[in-house]
Amino acid sequence: MKEQLALLVALQTMDLKRQKDKERLKDFPEKMAIAEKPLNDVRSEIETAQAQLEQFVKDRKEGELDLQTIEEKIVKLKLRLTDLKTNKEYHAHLQEIAAARNTKSETEDQLLAAMEGIDQLQADLTTKEAQLGEDELAFSGIKKEMQDAMDLIVSEAAKVEADWQATSEKISKSLLASYQRLFNSGKGLAVVPVSGQTCTGCHFSLPPQLIAEVKRESKVLTCGYCHRILYAKLPEIPAE
């Protein structure tokens, strides 16, 4: 029975390692996303700036066409001044020219704003694209480190799985089933040592007779409160 207890303790150690490895692997996607966030933020900023730049370029082209149209209109209006017959027509025509000049001034302001926006965005894009290159290089290193860590965990997990299978085959089926039911119950350890008169699983005091029987290690005994499997001291697995 000592050997069976020793095998159970060893199996539990492997199960704890399996749980830990599973949790670590589960955390990697979130950690990867956190590491990539600065890179994605810069990419998003570049996309936004490029869209704004395209709009400013469009506004500039439209502004240039509008300005050309207005200037041509002003020229035509001026040429018609000599054809007017009355002062009323003349003053009305001057007002139309003045309105066209105001429109021209507004269009020039809009065109200037578009050109300034283009210059600013081009400068911003140059800076952001340089930052993107740096962030991509940094993330590439982080990604490799994470992938290497994941590969190591997977490799270790495969070895633990093989050891678990080999160890479980040496344990009686009924004892293995009881252990797995306890371990998978979500209450933590299934096999625990006694400390003095106490079960270290639930920390309740145990009857002296039970403590004495646990120390004899002649059979598998469980705590009457938490039902965990008990042992007096860490058993040793006999060398094969």
Query: pLDDT tens across 51-105, in order?
Result: 999 999 999 999 999 999 999 999 999 988 888 888 898 899 899 999 999 999 9
Q: How many CA atoms lie within 13 A of 67 on its CB side?
A: 14
Distance CA 194, CA 196 (A): 6
In the block, residue with structure tokens 């252990």: 179
CA 34 from chain centre, in angstroms, equals: 4
Task: State the pLDDT at residue 40.
Answer: 95
| Mean pLDDT, residues 5-14 taken together | 95
Smallest CA-to-CA distance from 46 within 106, 114, 136, 110 is with: 136
Fold adopted by 10-168: Helix Hairpins (1.10.287)
For residue 234, pLDDT beyond 70: no
3-state secondary structure of 229: strand
Could you tell me whether strands 221-222 and 229-231 are parallel, antiparallel, or unpaired per DSSP bridges? antiparallel
What is the dihedral angle through the alpha carbons of 215, 218, 224, 227, rounded to the nearest 10 degrees? 110
| Mean pLDDT, residues 23-44 taken together | 94
Output phi, psi for 169, to 5 deg.
Answer: -70, -20
User: Could you tell me where in the chain the CATH 1.10.287.1490 domains are found?
Assistant: 10-168
* Model confidence band, residue 141 (pLDDT cutoffs 50, 70, 90): very high
With beta carbons less than 8 A apart as the criterion, state whether 5 and 235 touch. Answer: yes
In the block, residue with structure tokens 């009457």: 224
| Mean pLDDT, residues 125-147 taken together | 95
Distance CA 149, CA 143 (A): 10
Smallest CA-to-CA distance from 189 within 16, 19, 5, 10 is with: 16
Distance CA 163, CA 157 (A): 10
Angle between helices 2-80 and 87-168 (to 10 degrees): 170
